[in-house]
Chains A and B, each alone.
Chain A
Amino acid sequence: MTVNWAQILFNSVITGSIYLLGAVGLSVTYGLSGFPNFAHAEFITLGAFIGYFVAEQLGLGLPAALIVAFLVTGIVGFLCYRGVFQPLAKRGASIIHLMVASIALGFILRYSIGAAWSWHPLYFTTTWSAFDVGPLRVTGLWLWLIFVAVGLAFIMHLILTRTKIGKAIRATSSNPELALASGINIDRVIWITWFVGGGLAAIAGIFRGADTQIWPMTGWDIILPMFAVAILGGIGNFYGAIAAAFVIGLAENVGVVALIAVGLSTEYRMAIPFLILIITLIVKPQWLAMLFRRA
């Protein structure tokens, strides 16, 4: 069996780009609010459906779909935090209660989506012609995905380093007490990260949906790899999440080759991020977080 390694690397970048978009928001809200938001899966799903609605049902095309999905899901993300998690945390809910609440909220969103659209998988009808670049098989969708992921990561980087609000976000995630003492409005910082995190998840959802299928479990199907990315990269660590997204994307695609080589089912592909997740958790999460922070 000959393996097209260039293609595998390229596929890793594609997988990594989706994980990057999906996991950055998860990681940053996890770090700032102090609990893993399982409803993030539904932000991804909601984005996919809104994207489908705008691009297919309204026929406005992909760019419009990306923008509308980003805004709408971002607002939903903000409302989830403002309406449910923040008041719960103020009432002294424990981290376990917040996790349970996020799963409950996920149910509400997931089944509302199921009621509003349907449980039958939907597909984008726009066909993306495949063409060859050297040894690579490429589609327009994938190029869009890489362009959007890299572009958004770069914009986020500029916001984090150049703007006042970005500096406030970084200050808050590294030391909330100090940030509060220096007059940063922490609530506002957290609201913004929930908005942006939801928006980015929506974009991940559109690309994931366009690449595979759209149904109410679209997000849940990839939520555990997202957690793997967030934890591997260090919770709340933006640059760590970017690196980890590509590490896990690579591990998955190389893993598939390995699975075929040893004669195991490729269904185990989904087990690879789980295994990385579990190993990461066992082998000192702090150690990895520090590694990325120094870099």
Chain B
Amino acid sequence: MLLYGLDFLVFVGIFGIVALSLNLEFGFAGLANFGKVAFFLVGAYTYAVLSQIGVPFYLCLITAAVIAAAFGFVISLPALRLRADYLAISVLAFGEILRLLIKAEHGIAGGVWGITVSPAISLAGVSYRVDLLVNIGLVYFCLLICFIVAQLLANSPYGRVMRAIREDEVAAEALGKDRAKYKAQIFMIGSAMAGLAGGLYAQYLQFIDPYMFMPMITFTVWMMVILGGPANNWGALLGAGLVEFFDRGANLAKDYLVLPVDPSNLQYILFGALIILVLFYRPQGLLKESPIKTKALELVRYGRGVVNNKPGK
């Protein structure tokens, strides 16, 4: 049971990173990235291929992030000029093409049979439990870095521009913000984070194949962000925890409960219903959008009296 809990924590950490990255793209900048799994896949396969030729794990992770960011940049060139719906469809299609490519080209990384990945830090003769703890340390270290990056970006004038582009990109453009440049940057940062998470995923599972990168992953991450609260980094983490918990719960229920409906079906039916309920009754998610906090703003707001509490001025 403890092992199960630790394994759960690793998954929350990895998907927490992906949720943070989608939150940057969708929550803050309003970009409908329906192809998140593509960048996750790029990171995972980069890690797998590099680790097989003996590159140390930290370089593998960094390269995974860089290559994923490069893919993000290439995709962003044409795609980000598109409307939200076209962007969603074309990035989704891109993810499917990429998966097809990996599946069909056996030379790249084992094709449809998958590829084994060596673990990041292998200590000779330690128990599975210690190994899990090492993984938790590594994953949460990466999560911490991504969280700090996301928070710094969100609470800065840059975060203000991201939100402005989400709210009205034409107005932002007319106020001097090069929307194409901003969107490309955000897409690259988001893709780098997803790539990093992909690398961690590959090294933790020690085996990957194309069927692990179905569009379902993308939608699971969307669920995390929508549920937790778009434009709130704590919300993304909360969403990641809740969705993973729900997922595990359904798997446990399969073993302990007798239900008229197969729990693995029921789980996704409930997922779907939950999303629709959230969109209906709490579209801002569990945690509301966090306002921009910079040192200067805090000074005005709290240092010199709260401005909007002076009635009739």
Residues of A within 8 A of B (CB): 35-36, 84, 87-88, 91, 93-97, 99-101, 103-108, 110-112, 114-115, 224, 227-228, 231, 264-265, 267-268, 270-271, 274-275, 277-278, 281-282, 285
- Given the known inter-chain contacts A107-B269, A111-B266, A115-B261, please indicate yes or no for A227 contacting B280, CB distance below 8 A: no
Asked whether B272 lies within 8 Å of A231 as measured between CB atoms, the reply is no
CB contact between A115 and one of B89, B104, B226, B269 (< 8 Å): that residue? B269
Q: Are A96 and B280 in contact (CB under 8 A)?
A: no
Q: How far is the CA of A265 from the CA of B111 in the complex (A)?
A: 12
CA distance A20 to B16 in the complex (A): 41
CA distance A228 to B32 in the complex (A): 18
How many contacting A-B pairs (Cβ < 8 A)?
A: 120
- Residues of chain B at the chain A interface (Cβ within 8 Å): 26, 30, 32, 34, 78-79, 82, 84-86, 88-90, 92-94, 96-97, 100-101, 103-105, 219, 222-223, 226, 261-262, 265-269, 271-276, 279-280, 283
CB <8 Å contact, B93 and A110: no
A33 to B97, CA, bound (A): 28
A selection of 26 A-B contacts at a CB cut-off of 8 Å is A84-B276, A91-B280, A93-B279, A97-B279, A99-B34, A100-B222, A100-B226, A100-B279, A104-B271, A104-B274, A104-B279, A105-B272, A107-B268, A108-B268, A111-B265, A111-B266, A112-B269, A114-B262, A227-B89, A265-B105, A268-B100, A270-B100, A277-B93, A278-B90, A278-B93, A282-B82
**Known contacts A108-B273, A267-B100; A96/B93 CB under 8 A:** no
B residues less than 8 Å from A267 (CB atoms)? 100, 103-104
CB proximity of A78 to chain B, nearest CB, Å = 17
Across the interface, B104 reaches (CB within 8 A) one of A99, A103, A107, A268, namely A268
Residues of A within 8 A of B272 (CB): 104-108, 111
Chain A residues in 8 Å Cβ range of B283 = 91, 93, 97
Interface of A is mostly: helix
In the complex, A104 Cα to B271 Cα: how many Å?
A: 7
How far, in whole Å, are A87 and B267 apart by their CA atoms in the complex?
25
A residues in contact with B104, CB < 8 Å: 264-265, 267-268
Measured CA separation A110–B268 after assembly (Å): 9
For the A-B complex with A97-B283, A107-B219, A108-B273 known, give 8 more contacts whose Cβ atoms are closer than 8 Å: A91-B280, A96-B26, A96-B32, A104-B275, A281-B79, A282-B78, A282-B82, A285-B86
Do B275 and A101 touch across chains, with their CB atoms under 8 A apart? Answer: yes
Q: Looking at the assembled complex, report how far the CB atom of A93 sits from the nearest CB atom of chain B, in whole angstroms.
A: 6
| Given contacts A107-B268, A285-B86, A88 and B279 within 8 Å (CB-CB) | yes
| Closest-CB distance, B312 to chain A (whole angstroms) | 32
Shortest Cβ distance from residue B257 to the other chain A in the assembled complex, whole angstroms = 15
